[in-house]
Structure 1
Amino acid sequence: MPEAASPSSRRPPRARYRELTLREIKDLAWEQVAEGGGAALSLNSIARRMGLTGPALYRYFANRDALLTELVREGYRGLAEAVDAAVPGAGEADPELRLRAFVHALWTWSAEMPHRYLLLFGAPVPGYAAPEDTFEQAFRPMAVLFDVLAELPPGPAETRAVSGGPLRDQLAGWVDARGGEPLPPEVALRAVRCWARLHGLISLALVGQFTATGVDPEEVLRVELDALLAGH
């Protein structure tokens, strides 16, 4: 009995060609980002490497910012998928194990995809502002972190910090703006502190700031994670 045709083989040739061309454009774009950051992205350079004219490439992406936005979306999707695959669901493991899995997933993905990580979380690309809808995808890993931290008791410093004042209102507004389940402000603050500490460490490691010190950033990461779990 003959094998069933795959969904891709059933698409019209023009659609398959477009899909392959889009993939090649993005692969070459990621190469440029890896070599020189988001500011190095050039549609004309990609067109030359593909043997296309500039106008032909513009049928796929109207300008540099449109291509950059697609890379940002793809980067956030990749990170979210890595986190989703690594972190057990609620009830499948205790929250400490889930937090360790989250941290490990973020660390591993950034080490394997440093250019993607730095495009998302590094210095802004001059003249580029990501559309608002890209931040919805950016929030997916943070939502997992919220879910995990909601099962852990907040530290005394976080409880004191959100007892009143502008920070409490700012955290509440941020959580409301992102949608989802209501979240106690002390949990939101713990998530922000965790996010900031992890990204600070990862960013320093990726740009080589630990090299001259002789300190292994993964060892520092373990200390930071232990401190987070202890509520410090």
Structure 2
Amino acid sequence: MVRAQEGPRARYREQTRSEIKKTALRQLAESGAGALALTRVAKEMGLSGPALYRYFAGRDDLLSALIRDAYDDAAAAVGRAADAAGTHGAGPRERLRTLAAAYRAWAVAEPHRYLLIQGAPVPGYVAPDDTRDRARAVLGPFLPVFASGTPGSGVAALVVEMTDWLAGDESVGAWVADYAPDALGDLRRPSYALAGAVLVWAQLHGSVGLEAAGQFDGMGHSGDTLLVTQMNLLADAFALS
């Protein structure tokens, strides 16, 4: 009897948590993460402040849930693009552009969620430990793309640093193994994969971040054109076909 009652209660709890997060996201879109407060969320939902604490321990707990969701959704968008590119037999250069386009599409569709995970830090907030793995999941599909490349001299110094990173952090090797297992047969390929992932992250954050923040308004280019150009240059740096 108790077990039968647990199902509806659990579903109600998850529905309420989902509604709280949706309300918080609307407030994020309007005022930014720094203005998020459980009391504001409770007021909009017609609940008492203490009632929300049954679902989230505090503002930081709610922020962490929103951040986890954002990373997971971004990773899912990039993952779907990787699957589609693989189905169509796309080459490395085309896959790179496809993955980058998927990331941009997710970010510009919901810029407040993108800025939550890639914008300015929220004062006093410390992200949960699992944020790193979720962020790596977003970049994971890019690893096999760059593992197949041959980086030129302009990338050599970064490749050396990635080799040192691999040697000093077992979790980095596990990350590469999860997404680019074929690269493990060549001692150089994991470093190539990581160098590309770091570079594409910087390129994406620069271009997509500016666009999501509205910094391209009034300029004579589109975000899509700029990103394609950046990805082509990065593909050239790794001799991606």
Aligned in 2, Cα 1:210/1:130: closer, same or farther, shift over 3 Å?
Answer: same
> Counterparts of 1:59-208 in structure 2 under 5 Å?
59-88=54-83, 92-159=89-156, 161-162=157-158, 167-168=161-162, 170-172=164-166, 176-178=170-172, 179-180=174-175, 181=177, 184-208=190-214
Q: 2:33 aligned with 1:27, yes or no?
A: no
RMSD: 2.4
- Distance in 1 separating the partners of 2:86 and 2:51: 48
Aligned in 2, Cα 1:205/1:134: closer, same or farther, shift over 3 Å?
Answer: same
Distance apart, 1:90 and its partner CA:
5.6
Aligned in 2, Cα 1:72/1:163: closer, same or farther, shift over 3 Å?
Answer: closer
- Distance in 2 separating the partners of 1:25 and 1:216: 35
Give the gaps of 5 or more residues in structure 2. 178-183
- Distance in 2 separating the partners of 1:83 and 1:42: 31
Distance apart, 1:231 and its partner CA:
0.9
- Secondary structure of the 1:184 match is helix
> Counterparts of 1:206-217 in structure 2 under 5 Å?
206-217=212-223
Quick one: which of 39, 44, 48 aligns to 2:43? 48
Task: Say which is worse superposed, 213-222 or 139-148, in terms of deviation.
Answer: 213-222
Distance apart, 1:11 and its partner CA:
6.8
**Structure showing the higher helix proportion among its residues:** 2
- Distance in 2 separating the partners of 1:134 and 1:163: 25
Aligned in 2, Cα 1:13/1:187: closer, same or farther, shift over 3 Å?
Answer: closer
Q: Match for 1:205: what amino acid? A: E
Deviations 1:32-66 (A, max 9, x none): 11112211111011111222211111010010000
- Secondary structure of the 1:220 match is helix
Task: Tell me: higher relative CO, structure 1 or 2? Use CA pairs within 8 A at least 6 residues apart.
Answer: 2
Q: TM-score, normalised by structure 1?
A: 0.86
Aligned in 2, Cα 1:130/1:85: closer, same or farther, shift over 3 Å?
Answer: same
Matched pairs, number? 221
Q: Percentage identity across aligned positions?
A: 40
